[in-house]
Structures are given as C-alpha cells and as structure tokens.
Amino acid sequence: MRKRLGLLAWLLPLAASALVAAFGTRDPADLPYFAHAARTLFSSRWADTFADPSLQVGPLQLLLVGVCDRIGGLGFLAYALEIALAALIVFVVGRLLRGRPHRAAFQALAGLAAVALGVTAEAYSYGHPAQVAVPLMWVLAALDAREGRTLRSGSLLGLSAGLEVWGVLGAPVLLLAPVFRRALGGLAAQVAVIGALYLPFVLAGSFRMFDYRWKVESWTLVRLLVPAGSDFPWGLRLLQGAVALIVGCAVALALRRTERALWAVPLGIVAVRVLLDPTLYSWYWLGLETLAIVAAVELAASIRTRWRWQRHAPAPAAASTLRRG
C-alpha cells in the first residue's frame, strides 16, 4: 500500500504536467533564442557561444535545451521541461519530508499545486526553467549541507550556476553544515564546478556575458536609488548579489538549527534578488512561487505531525491526593 501511494505521488503530478504541456502551454518566449545559441554550442564554434552579451543563461541550460531540441524540437521541450520540473518538485519535497508521516500525500500536493498554479507551464512559456530549478537545487544543497555532505552540496550549487549565473547566490546554505569549517570544502566544490563550466568559454573564445547592461524600469524599487532609464551594469549586479548573500547568511545563522532553514535561506536570497532587480521580469516571480509551495507543504506537514503527536500523547498522570496516615 505504501509503495502504491509513493508511486501515485509521482504519477499524478507528472501526468498533470504532461496534460498541461499538451493542451495548455503557450508558445515559448526565449527558448527559440536559447535553442539557437545551443546550436552554436554544439558546433565547431562552441567557444564563441557567449560572444553575444544578451545571452544570460549558463552552458548547462544551453546543453539541456540543445539536447531536447535535437530530440524533438520545441514541442518536445514543452513536455521535457514541464514534466522534469514537476518531478524535481516532487523529489525535493520527498527529501525534505523524509521520515515524516503522509510524505507521499504532501509530495503529490506540492507537485499538483505547481502545475495548477502554472509554475511549470510558465517556466516553459517564458523560456526560463532555471527560475524554478535553481531554488529547488538550493533546497537540495541545504539538505546535503545539513547532513554534512558539503562537497555534494557545493557541487549542486555549482551546477545551479551552470543553469544561470545567479545560482552562485545559493552559497549561504553551506552555513547549515553541522561544523562551520566544512562549509569551506563545499565552497571550494562550488567554485570548482563553476570554473569547469565557464572557464573553457572564457579562455578559448569571446566571452561577453558581463558586457550586458539592463535598463532600470520605473516600477522597480531600484529606481529609488538609480534613475529610471539608467543603465544597470554587472557592477551593480554584483552589489545586488552581495546584499542577497548577506541576507542569506543572516537567515542561515539565525535559523540553522531549525527545519525552516532548509527553505527559508533560499527564500530570503530569492526575495532580495527579486526586490532589488532593475527590470523585474515576470518570470523572476517563479522562484518565489516555487519556494512558497515548498514552504507551505513543509509547514503543513509539521503542523500535521505536531497535531498527531499531541493527539496520541499519553495524558499526564493525575496528582495523587492521598496522604499517608
């Protein structure tokens, strides 16, 4: 019976995401551009993949998009990305709730919520699946760090930066390690993976990703500090990232002994990144939505566990009023 429930926890969200991909997904916005860049990655001119400054996704995302595009084109990408993201949410919630009662039900709930709220479909239609995948990878990295597997945690963080550069901001989850000095090993692993993914392009070709400049939009909080319409170069991106890292470290140190830290640290980092963004594209909110689903499910599971424990706890023994004569 338990195995059947566990199987349903996967099948229901994956089937729902496949149906949405088949009937309810809009044409992708940026994925055709990424697929074109992936063709350069797979060619003899691979070293110049990032010669165009407007290409702001990492080589790992281009690799995944390129493979799916070669298998079945953009139509296949809809199925592959939406089903993969639903599966990742189910997997992360399963790791987060390991050992807790009714884990399968909460896994199914999280996966179905992500599909119903449009998280998986919009990740495809906007063309930015990393907005969902990166925060989930941070939660997995936080779980590994909490369990002392900081090298694997750092490697996951490095891979998340291979999807999009802002994945480097997940580093504060390493502070959840049982011993602080282990975080240094995780940080070294993160740097090594990022170097392996990006250095070949930096050394062998024209790497112009950091030449790109955004425009400060009038509806963002950044316009209070930088006039609307001004350029927002990578130098200011570094400042934005530094603030997010500081907030992430503060949350990690404050909550490191609690279960909430596993999703609260990624949530704090993503929230600061979004609030301090100069453009605030619609797909930036997908990360917050994803982490909100994970947080809501984890809190619901905690309340359920606590209620069950209180319900079955033995009643305190009545105080004896007898006296010895």
Look at residue 246 and tell me if it is in a domain.
Answer: yes
Look at residue 157 and tell me if it is in a domain.
Answer: yes
267-292 tens-digit pLDDT: 999 999 999 999 988 899 999 999 99
Look at residue 172 and tell me if it is in a domain.
Answer: yes
- DSSP β-bridge partners for residue 231: 215
Look at residue 184 and tell me if it is in a domain.
Answer: yes
137-183 tens-digit pLDDT: 999 999 999 999 999 999 999 999 999 999 999 999 999 999 999 99
Structural domain for 151, as ranges: 2-302
Look at residue 272 and tell me if it is in a domain.
Answer: yes
Phi, psi of 101 (to 5 degrees): -65, 150
247-265 tens-digit pLDDT: 999 999 999 999 999 999 9
**Rounded Cα–Cα distance for residues 101 and 167 (Å):** 32
Look at residue 314 and tell me if it is in a domain.
Answer: no
Residues 6+ apart with CB under 8 A from 307: none
39-54 tens-digit pLDDT: 999 999 999 999 999 9
Look at residue 317 and tell me if it is in a domain.
Answer: no
Split into its structural domains, the chain has a count of 1
Q: Flag whether pLDDT at 241 surpasses 90.
A: yes
What is the DSSP secondary-structure string of 36-103?
HHHHHHTSTTGGGTT-STT--S-HHHHHHHHHHHHHHHHHHHHHHHHHHHHHHHHHHHHHHTTTSTTH
Average pLDDT over residues 118-136: 95
